[in-house]
Structure 1
């Protein structure tokens, strides 16, 4: 914290939902903030909220902890050198617009500019190089939404180590905290009284772009996790005939066990909420068209580009896209036949327990896909990612925080060279024991005509890795037949290529 009363510790540019709450979080941790936004009303609102919270909760502190600025030059003049500036602006052109404005305002080469938006990781790599002579461009992905930003987010910083050493104390102060032994979040939602005990959910990820890549994969897992829960909801309502409130009660029970997570918790709450207008379950009054901001799509595209199987994440993106085809779905629901029976004739309690196991297995499979993707990209880019630390910082503050991230942390602590999370004894044993319940859930979904693309694709991922031999031998034979693409043989050294003269004498030739 800066002891000079006339200088501020950090500048926050962009006072939308995330920027405003990050500024208040930083102020709560005894750092002084200079704030700016193109919208003067947002500046005034942030300064006013700080004043109201200070007078209500921190009566001994009389000096403002956040001061508004009219322009970038004024902000630079108020900051302690080397200056630290946090950007909370939309990804893309706005980031570069602010950077150019800061250059024009006289930023110094050793000042630090931190992009906290959802930027594409390759853009971050390019920006670090582009602005190298003007300032230190740094990036930090932020997860946790509005509440996380205000009271403790999960922070994924990457870039210059010099910049990280400068900002690390602030980041550790404002990050979410967890109990080191249990891995459970330590939460307190009180302005002026931040959580100081526990392990902070932030760590230096690696070189430029790696933090945003890790956050991108986080969001891909988030897409899949949300869709998995939605599929369980549909199976319990349309399949078993439970009401939304009854499913909420089931989810509450699940949340007390191995499925404990933020997303399960809020899903239970949503399902038990009545619509203020009609009294019907609110979830049934919400139009079934899901939006997306692109990070899940980026994850799926990256998996395809690098050749890493992530079918459950991709299916979650497709599920959102299909949900937007509301008109076609309404039309085809009248034309396409489905099964005549649902699941009401089966043992409801038994199926609920089987579905709980299936959802756990599918979630583990989904996380395995995400961590495998990060593993392969790290090798491609030469990053030294610490996956135990990444799992650690996802235990609190972020949207996918869940109890079993503690088990993932321990798995990577025991074997940091895991190529796939399914190789960890803990998860290999758990999925092997629960896989029959998983199969029952998928089978019942298919037989009842209820789509479960994520639960199903997660099982296919598990089964594909369980198979010592896949039918790709036939596929490669097909490629050689029509395109002379060659093939390797199981009885010859790896790398030796062969081609069969399919249209001629069927002779085998070493290529």
Structure 2
């Protein structure tokens, strides 16, 4: 039997889909799984593709079944199991071999693992994979971090199995060590903000205007043919118009309003704050999911905290559409700002326009907006700020006023819109040349003698309040 070109360890949803994708593109793929009894059903599912799949029952046989230098994709939890796997597999490898973590890993772990393996002339790749099961099977967007040596090995395979946007593979080598996993983290943060902003528009239509789910879904379906065209708007329209076969009611109305999260949104916010950035739309989305878990508290509070709401009409559908577009632009801009800050901090030299391009197909946040953002990022905008690029300014010039009207209506009606509000507050903060933090500096000097910079003198100064 000829040796396999790549190995896939872990035949769960994503691992099995990626293995079948590779086999379908003609690659010889070694496969195995910790629970050996998963292997036979997987091979049966593969059908005609089984001719390109090479199953092994043990880790040792799996490693020996790979052509050298070896390339092994691990689709297992990126926490302690990955560290245990590295410890188990390293003695079986040879210098020049590459192992890939294709899960949602914390990029700090990826950097640590890369440094550890480099000491043995082994290569560790952190690869973000977006698109869910369908994307993994038929063409995901992939964000690769690691050495140039490992990219040389991976490039022919990944470019074949990736999603294509007008023929361009939605995959690239983005930088060393944790760069790929950080870009995937930021992708997920933007995804959180996008999903929350859509949900907030849905809530306004439901709770202020009284529209039912199918009406809102039809509106979203129409919006998907315009500037809001995106995977998330498209599936939101479908979800809202789906009917439960048992009750005849909209399925979405039967779902408890408690959202799960796996941590990548929180990581985006944490790293943004560490890097001195504000990702307020993403922060709002993460906070909203956290509060959604407090269902019992919210039920009690609804009957007790009743003050201050004033019923007003919601702006029309055109305003809602424009407001959502503005919020999406600003949420993406925050994500790219965090990416640039991380690139500077970790010396990654991230290519932001290319990142926007590899998100145009295959991934969850794919949308027509990303084409515009890629062009804007290439245009050398003032201060390097995406929202200062002429084309993006033009879009915001026509959508910020609707966003203000929608946020004002939501606040007056007492409908929480943390993502929309956070996006607008960030926009206003960026455009305010003279803010209010001069008072904060005075306060800090008063109680802690931290000092401040005066507009008419050089150097650190102190106020007269403590003399």
1:16 corresponds, among 12, 22, 27, to: 12
SS at match of 1:31: coil
Q: Does 1:332 align with 2:301?
A: yes
> Matched residues in 1 for 2:219 and 2:432: separation?
34
1:294 corresponds, among 238, 263, 269, to: 263
**Runs of at least 4 residues off by over 3 Å:** 338-343
TM-score (norm 1): 0.89
Consecutive unaligned residues in structure 1, runs of 5 or more: 55-62, 180-197, 505-511
Query: What value does the CA root-mean-square deviation take over the aligned residues?
Result: 1.4
> Matched residues in 2 for 1:82 and 1:97: separation?
22
SS at match of 1:407: helix
What are the superposed Cα offsets for residues 141-178 of structure 1, whole Å, 9 maximum, x if unpaired?
Answer: 11111101000000100111011011100010010001
Q: Does 1:135 align with 2:100?
A: no
Consecutive unaligned residues in structure 2, runs of 5 or more: none
Mapping for residues 86-485 of structure 1, pairs under 5 Å = 86-104=73-91, 106-132=92-118, 133=120, 135-179=122-166, 198-338=167-307, 342-343=311-312, 346=313, 351-415=316-380, 419-485=384-450
> Matched residues in 2 for 1:99 and 1:340: separation?
56
Contact persistence 1:143–1:398 (CA under 8 A): yes
SS at match of 1:334: helix
Structure 1 pair 310–377 and aligned structure 2 pair: CA distance change class (3 A): same
What are the superposed Cα offsets for residues 194-213 of structure 1, whole Å, 9 maximum, x if unpaired?
Answer: xxxx1000011001101111
Contact persistence 1:371–1:420 (CA under 8 A): no
Q: Does 1:7 align with 2:28?
A: no
> Matched residues in 2 for 1:488 and 1:227: separation?
39
Contact persistence 1:222–1:400 (CA under 8 A): yes
Contact persistence 2:382–2:389 (CA under 8 A): no
SS at match of 1:299: helix
Contact persistence 1:47–1:67 (CA under 8 A): no
SS at match of 2:173: coil
> Matched residues in 2 for 1:164 and 1:435: separation?
42
Q: CA deviation at 1:134?
A: 5.7
Contact persistence 2:98–2:150 (CA under 8 A): yes
What are the superposed Cα offsets for residues 179-238 of structure 1, whole Å, 9 maximum, x if unpaired?
Answer: 1xxxxxxxxxxxxxxxxxx10000110011011111100000111100000000000111
- 2:58 corresponds to: 71
What are the superposed Cα offsets for residues 367-406 of structure 1, whole Å, 9 maximum, x if unpaired?
Answer: 1100001111111111111111000000011110011100
Structure 1 pair 100–340 and aligned structure 2 pair: CA distance change class (3 A): closer
TM-score (norm 2): 0.97
- 1:194 corresponds to: none
SS at match of 2:149: helix
Structure 1 pair 255–338 and aligned structure 2 pair: CA distance change class (3 A): farther
Give the aligned length.
Answer: 466
Contact persistence 2:442–2:463 (CA under 8 A): no
Q: CA deviation at 1:277?
A: 2.3
SS at match of 1:12: strand
What are the superposed Cα offsets for residues 23-50 of structure 1, whole Å, 9 maximum, x if unpaired?
Answer: 0001011001110101123212221111
Q: CA deviation at 1:342?
A: 3.7
Contact persistence 2:187–2:335 (CA under 8 A): yes
- 1:35 corresponds to: 31
SS at match of 2:453: coil
Contact persistence 2:128–2:184 (CA under 8 A): yes
Q: CA deviation at 1:481?
A: 0.9
Moved more, 155-164 or 127-136: 127-136
> Matched residues in 2 for 1:449 and 1:39: separation?
51
Q: CA deviation at 1:339?
A: 5.3
